[in-house]
């Protein structure tokens, strides 16, 4: 293929891919298969690599990601990203309307109504009509720069469809559609991995991943709802939305101009049920004054715009019957009652069970078997029983008594320090506790052992292949080939085949190289989270020093208090936990910090907090430099902090707190002088 033909081919591929992106995300049409789409994308990427002279910063090939972001820099928003005040009734809407009319001294007020999408708010800047920067909301004043990840959002244009060299800022909501969320969890289930909790949290977590190619796999979408720049000839919110559509933004077609507050109420009623049939989670309606001059005149409070309000739909409520109350045991031995319900459709999904939390909640509701109950589920929140319909209660109904014995192993339950939670103390033999501890051990922030899901763990424990985390490292291929276990639905049976077995064995082997802090967190010591584990392993260079440390030495570690210290001492005073540690040691796991050569002791005993971005170091490199010169690094300011090293775009809160605590602030160059 000659150069001219190649150039034409690349241009055609780009045009075709953008066309399919628009069809898929804007119009929910998929006229080619994912396989055909991937072939076109791979061909484009291949041609751009071979002929870099034809590369473009606006090519759709950038949407597949591939950049690694080690640190998310923060930038100040051009105007603060405020949150909306909420309203729940027609009376509240009337009051809002009256306030607006009074402040503007006018009875002729138009409103724009838009669906309130449940996602992640973004501020997106374009310079010379090209995508420049994408920020999260952050604290409203400063946001994280997630530009590499935002490039993977196929509905977010890299270049605007305009003849002018536009410099504009827009705001929108990034989200994962219900259908894509379902597909993501299907893939997770297939790989025996922990499922994502809900679309909103999945979108938020995805946008903060370091590898943008992983973000691209999540198929994040983005609706634009606001033009945050002045454009000649645009005088209303409605005109702004129409303009954003014209220049290539994904603006949902659900907004509507309302001439008065009564039309606003009609819009709200129209979407109350209809919104549940959309492929995106919504949690209400946003009502905005349409006239942009009026918006500026009304201004904002310290938290919210005066010209807009969010109407929140009341959580949908349904009546259903309690068929049974069962008890579940967690990894810590906590026993939780769960109501088994007559299936009822609510919030777009079928609800069959609801947590009753503890014996106090059962007493408060006075809930009994065969009771009819009111149940609520707003959006993606956990279903909740709000009340019992006592007038429908069966004659002769008996008070429900909380179990005194573990539903799994039969051991007597105890209640700690007059708490509301009952515990099973038979942690060595109680199966659900064993499952839970191993699930925690293999989780992403711990040992990150892939290809093993909860069902696989149950199968391994139930067949006595493993009984604790250390047994994972003794598993052989022959132990697990054709291992059968039940899937979540309890009916389908799956067995491990050769490829799955090899993946499991390889993942376990790879986990041996995980650092000491991951391993300490994986042990599941109460109150020892990931950050605390990192601080402890930084202070105690190996597990033996931590095991032998006394209370005073443990609480001397930055941000470690009495409760954590007591929990650590209690954990290591238990013989079976020491046996677990020794068994893991024998399997070759890392129970010591990597020994590093110190450059000097110039910063000995000094505690630093690092904030902002720097020219000579990344933030991590600067923190490492502090440690190599004998200093300590903390994530938050306290009375123990000696210096705050500040760089560009440091958050204002840290500066204020440093002044309050009288902590010396030093620049990057001043820090370099110190060492």
- What is the set of active-site residues? 116
Residue with tokens 């034809």: 54
d(CA 184, CA 214): 12
Measured between alpha carbons, how far is 292 from 566 in angstroms, rounded to an integer?
58
- Report the alpha-carbon distance of residue 453 to residue 439 in Å, rounded: 8
What are the phi and psi torsion angles at 486 (to 5°)?
-85, 140
The answer to whether 629 and 598 have CB atoms below 8 angstroms apart is yes
Say if residues 432 and 466 touch (Cβ distance below 8 Å).
Answer: no
Residues in the chain: 675
612 Rama class: left (phi>0) / alpha (psi -120 to 50) / beta: left
Helix axes 3-26, 34-50, angle to 10 degrees: 140
As given in the structure block, the two tokens for residue 78 are 């051009």
Q: How far apart are CA 214 and CA 154, in angstroms?
A: 14
Burial (CB count <10 Å: 0-12, 13-18, 19+), residue 416: exposed
- 134: enclosing H helix or E strand: strand 130-136
Lookup result for tokens 């291949």: 46
What would you report as the CA-atom Rg of the chain, rounded to the nearest whole angstrom?
A: 29
Q: Which residue(s) pair with 305 in the sheet?
A: 300
Beta pairing class for 256-258 and 221-227: unpaired
144 and 121 Cβ atoms separated by less than 8 Å: no
Token readout for 265 is 């109420």
347 contacts 354 by C-beta, under 8 angstroms: no
For residue 38, what are its two tokens?
């991937």
- State the greatest distance between any 2 C-alpha atoms of the chain, in Å, as a whole number: 88
The string of DSSP codes covering 454-519 is HHHHHHHHHTTS-SSGGGGGG--HHHHTT-EEE-TTSS-EEE--HHHHHHHHHHHHHHTTS-HHHH
> Can you tell me the distance from the alpha carbon of 301 to that of 503, in angstroms, rounded to the nearest whole number?
55
Q: What is the token pair recorded at 612? A: 């902002």
Tokens 């919504």, located at residue? 282
Is the separation of the CB atoms in 421 and 334 below 8 Å? yes
Candidates 535, 520, 521; CA nearest to 607 is: 535
112 DSSP β-pair partners = 257, 288
Neighbouring CB atoms inside 10 A of 389's CB total: 12
């Amino acid at each position: 293929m000659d150069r001219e033909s190649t150039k034409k081919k690349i241009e055609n591929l780009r045009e075709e891919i953008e066309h399919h992106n628009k069809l898929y995300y804007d119009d929910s049409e998929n006229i080619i298969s994912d396989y055909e789409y991937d072939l076109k994308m791979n061909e484009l990427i291949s041609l751009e690599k071979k002929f870099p002279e034809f590369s473009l910063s606006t090519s759709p090939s950038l949407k597949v990601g591939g950049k690694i972001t080690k640190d998310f820099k923060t930038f100040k928003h051009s105007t603060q990203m405020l949150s909306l005040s909420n309203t729940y009734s027609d009376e509240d809407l009337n009051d809002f309307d009256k306030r607006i009319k009074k402040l503007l001294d006018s009875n002729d007020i138009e409103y724009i109504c838009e669906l309130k999408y449940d996602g992640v708010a973004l501020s997106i800047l374009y310079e010379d009509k090209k995508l420049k920067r994408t920020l999260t909301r952050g604290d409203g004043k400063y946001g994280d720069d997630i530009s590499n990840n935002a490039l993977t959002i196929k509905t977010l244009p890299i270049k605007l469809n305009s003849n002018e060299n536009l410099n504009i800022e827009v705001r929108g909501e990034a989200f994962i559609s219900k259908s894509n969320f379902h597909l993501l969890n299907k893939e997770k289930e297939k790989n025996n991995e922990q499922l994502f909790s809900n679309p909103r949290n999945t979108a938020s977590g995805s946008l903060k991943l370091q590898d943008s190619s992983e973000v691209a796999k999540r198929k994040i979408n983005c609706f634009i709802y606001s033009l945050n720049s002045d454009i000649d000839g645009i005088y209303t919110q409605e005109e702004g939305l129409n303009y954003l559509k014209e220049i290539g933004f994904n603006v949902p077609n659900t907004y509507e101009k309302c001439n008065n507050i009564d039309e606003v109420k009609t819009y709200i009623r129209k979407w109350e049920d209809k919104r549940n049939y959309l492929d995106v989670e919504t949690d209400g309606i946003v009502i905005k004054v349409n006239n942009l001059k009026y918006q500026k005149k009304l201004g904002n409070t310290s938290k919210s715009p005066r010209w807009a309000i969010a109407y929140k739909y009341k959580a949908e409520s349904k009546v259903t019957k309690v068929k049974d109350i069962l008890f579940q045991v967690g990894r810590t031995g906590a026993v939780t009652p769960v109501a088994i319900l007559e299936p009822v459709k609510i919030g777009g999904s079928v609800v069959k069970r609801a947590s009753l939390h503890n014996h106090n909640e059962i007493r408060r509701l006075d809930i009994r078997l065969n009771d009819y109950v009111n149940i609520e589920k707003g959006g993606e929140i956990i279903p909740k029983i709000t009340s019992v319909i006592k007038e429908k209660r069966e004659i002769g109904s008996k008070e429900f008594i909380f179990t005194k014995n573990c539903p799994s192993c039969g051991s007597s339950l105890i209640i700690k320090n007059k708490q509301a939670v009952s515990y099973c103390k038979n942690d060595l033999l109680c199966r659900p506790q064993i499952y839970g501890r191993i699930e925690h051990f293999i989780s992403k922030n711990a040992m990150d052992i892939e290809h093993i899901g909860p069902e696989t763990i149950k199968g391994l424990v139930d067949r006595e292949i493993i009984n604790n985390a250390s047994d994972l490292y003794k598993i052989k291929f022959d132990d697990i080939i054709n291992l059968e276990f039940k899937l979540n639905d309890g009916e389908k049976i799956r067995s491990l085949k050769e490829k799955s077995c090899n993946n499991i064995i390889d993942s376990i082997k790879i986990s041996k190289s995980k650092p000491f802090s991951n391993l300490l967190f994986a042990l599941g010591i109460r109150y020892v989270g990931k950050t605390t584990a990192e601080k402890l392993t930084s202070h105690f260079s190996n597990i033996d020093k931590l095991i032998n440390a006394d209370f005073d030495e443990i609480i001397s570690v930055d941000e470690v208090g009495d409760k954590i210290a007591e929990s650590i001492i209690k954990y290591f005073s238990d013989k079976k936990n020491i046996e677990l540690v020794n068994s893991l040691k024998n399997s070759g796991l890392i129970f010591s910090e990597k020994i590093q050569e110190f450059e000097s002791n110039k910063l000995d005993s000094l505690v630093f907090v690092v904030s902002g971005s720097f020219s000579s170091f990344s933030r991590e490199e600067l923190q490492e430099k502090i440690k190599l010169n004998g200093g300590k690094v903390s994530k938050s300011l306290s009375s123990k902090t000696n210096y705050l090293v500040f760089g560009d775009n440091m958050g204002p809160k840290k500066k204020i707190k440093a002044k309050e605590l009288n902590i010396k602030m030093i620049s990057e160059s001043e820090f370099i002088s110190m060492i």
